[in-house]
Amino acid sequence: MTRFFSEALGKHNRSAFTSGNDSIDAYFRTVVSQDVKRRYAACYVLVEKATNKLAGFYTLSSKNIPLTEIPPDAARKLPRYPTVPAVLIGWLGRDAVFRGQDIGAMLLRDSIVRVASSPIGAYALFADAMDERAEAFYLKHQFTPLLGKPGRLFLPLQTAFDLLERP
């Protein structure tokens, strides 16, 4: 990732960001700063070093997943609490200029590194895929669908950490 660096959203110029999805673009251009200000979410951006252009972004916030939505094989290993603590990847978007350059995978990896270094306990990363393409992205990165919740997926953090250690 030497071509890029990641950092918390600051006074970056978001007006030119175009992912190709109107909902993602509108959120990133106009709403995300309010979510950050209210502490509903933390937002991180991936910036191309040479041009200072925003290649992508993601948000993280806390989430609880009902234990009954976790597949039985995973739930069997968990304490019998009613919910499981998780970190929600609420929004994830890549600028269309960077299509085909694995920006989504870089953003996901960066989110895992951030969660791994956080002192707050969580069992999994959680994502609400907004469409079939997003769901396919998360499935490709070993997320598992929640029971009875189409488009809702999770990745146990231990699995995520193990993926970070692979070459």
What pLDDT is stored for residue 116 in this prediction? 87
- Please tell me the distance from the alpha carbon of residue 47 to that of residue 113, in angstroms, as a whole number: 17
What pLDDT is stored for residue 166 in this prediction? 67
Percent of the chain with pLDDT strictly greater than 90: 83
Residue 167 pLDDT grade (very low, low, confident, very high; cuts 50, 70, 90) = low
CATH numbers and ranges of domains, the chain: 4-165 (3.40.630.30)
Residue 8 pLDDT grade (very low, low, confident, very high; cuts 50, 70, 90) = very high
Mean pLDDT across 12-16: 93
Percent of the chain with pLDDT strictly greater than 70: 98
- For residue 19, the one-letter residue type is S
- For residue 119, the one-letter residue type is P
- Please tell me the distance from the alpha carbon of residue 43 to that of residue 32, in angstroms, as a whole number: 7
- Please tell me the distance from the alpha carbon of residue 66 to that of residue 85, in angstroms, as a whole number: 9
Question: Mean pLDDT for the chain?
Answer: 93
Q: Do the bridges between strand 54-66 and strand 83-94 make them parallel or antiparallel, or are there none, so unpaired? A: antiparallel
Instruction: Compute CA distances 51 → 5, 8, 39, whole Å.
Output: 12, 18, 29
What pLDDT is stored for residue 142 in this prediction? 93
Model confidence at 117: pLDDT above 90? no
Which residue has 């989110």 as its token pair? 111
